[in-house]
Structure 1
């Protein structure tokens, strides 16, 4: 499938997570250890919010169809862009075309969305799923992926007002549509979404065997455990990271997100709750 990470906290250069860790996201694009595929070379994307962001400002985005590991522009940008909240994604296509409009993260207004997983038999379900998208939102769909369809369904169900309920309704609708078509165990997802202030991360699958997802231990605790790691000094106490798989250097730095659950991360506070499709 794919690998992704979501960071929030003190502004840092994006390459601090994309390139520098032992098992960075760029390393995972070639050598993933916990994904359905080892290689995630069907495109990449980053989305970020500026340090001096004003309310409702559209986040920046850069996406490409080639493999992340060979893109010189991605390396250069990630060295120079500092951000307090950013998403990064490396893609392994589940069947849809390798094209820029299919690369994550997807963007609508001040919202970002990225996904690892799939909707089983999406081609069979696609028409019914997309017909449920709000007619005012439908023209903004640019690609052909199940991931973008999930995003616009969540927007239709009220993502901007109540993200958790919207994603639960989206997941429930996908499962109900699949059942009507005789498609079993249709949904596999780890999803992250944000409006630039709060990050929501979801782990769920219809089978109860979801793709991996991890969240970082508190930075203050890590400093005490690893005083030798200089990089921890650049992070604020409220820094948080959600990843498809750990970045390597400190095995005690990450905890697994429980099955069928979601996390809400806001200014160093995080809350974990059960996820129940509606």
Structure 2
């Protein structure tokens, strides 16, 4: 499957998080410790919001992240208060640019780790549930992109947790109608330029790993020598598929079957449950 990183808070240069940590996302693309696969080399992508917090910019490529000179060059010069980064291990769909994460629609950005079980059997019914107005925007062949456009169909603009819950409910219903016992496995990040939501859920209730950073002031008290944390706000948060290092007190496992929202002033985690459609 995949590894991803989502950041929201004080504006930073992307390379400070993509390359500098001991177990950075670039390191994870070669040496994942908690993923299904050790190597995540089937493409990568980064997406970020500029100062106007409008439509995000996205770059994606089919090669591995660990030796991409363009990624290193861009990451060293782009600064953003909210960005996503993803390294891909395909679950069976083609290695092509349109299948790399993150995905974008308007101001929305989305990335996923996990899979819809037996997606080749469920793909038609799930795709037909996408709003016909949105269907031409579907570019690739992944379950992740279908999940995104289903969430948009089910009201992502108005109610992010509700839209994702209805998407998950549909996937589980269609899957079980086809005899798939555990249809859904997902950790998801979604953002609109101002807020970021993260989800951890699976039909088996044994979801892929996901961690959130502690408050910046608490980390500074424990590790005053961390250069990255100097000057960042208390609102700053990282959500990652696996920790970027082994420092105690920095990383907290996201609870099973939960979602979190990160926005200026506060953040919280709440229970997540699929909703019937």
TM-score (norm: length of structure 2): 0.98
Residue 104 (structure 1) aligns with: 101
Per the alignment, residue 64 of structure 2 pairs with 67
Structure 2 residue corresponding to 1:150, chosen from 140, 147, 150: 147
Give, in whole Å, the separation in 2 of the partners of 1:251 and 1:65. Answer: 35
Whole-angstrom distance in 2 between the partners of 1:85 and 1:147: 21
Aligned to 1:20: 20
Q: Is structure 2 residue 138 aligned with structure 1 residue 141? A: yes
In the alignment, does 2:173 pair up with 1:176? yes
Which among 231, 237, 244 is matched to residue 240 of structure 1?
A: 237
**Aligned-residue offset at 1:227:** 1.2
1:39 aligns to what?
A: 39
CA contact 1:239–1:268 (8 Å) conserved in 2: no
What is the rounded CA distance, in whole Å, between the counterparts of 1:133 and 1:237 in structure 2? 39
CA-CA distance at 1:229 after TM superposition: 1.7
Q: 1:221 maps to what in 2? A: 218
Runs of at least 5 residues in structure 1 that lack an aligned partner in the other structure: none
Q: How far apart are 1:249 and its partner, in Å?
A: 4.9
Aligned counterpart in structure 2 of residue 95 of structure 1, from 92, 97, 100: 92
CA distance in 2, matches of 1:90, 1:235: 26
Whole-angstrom CA distance in 1 between matches of 2:234 and 2:128: 44
CA–CA separation in structure 1 for the residues paired with 2:7 and 2:207: 21
Q: Choose the corresponding residue for 1:186, options 165, 183, 188.
A: 183
For residues 211 and 227 of structure 2, what CA distance do their matches in structure 1 show? 22
| Cα distance in 1, alignment partners of residues 161 and 190 from structure 2 | 10
Structure 2: tracts of 5 or more residues without a match: none
Q: Kindly state the Cα deviation for residue 251 of structure 1 after the two structures are TM-superposed.
A: 3.1
Partner of 2:52: 53
Write the distance in 1 (CA, Å) between the matches of 2:19 and 2:265. 24
Is 2:91 the partner of 1:131?
no
What SS does structure 1 have at the residue aligned with 2:169? helix
Superposition TM-score, scaled by structure 1 size: 0.97
- Tell me the distance in 2 between the aligned counterparts of 1:203 and 1:231: 27
Structure 1 residue ranges, 4+ long, deviating more than 3 angstroms after superposition: none
Counterpart check, 1:203 vs 2:200: yes
Q: 1:3 aligns to what?
A: 3
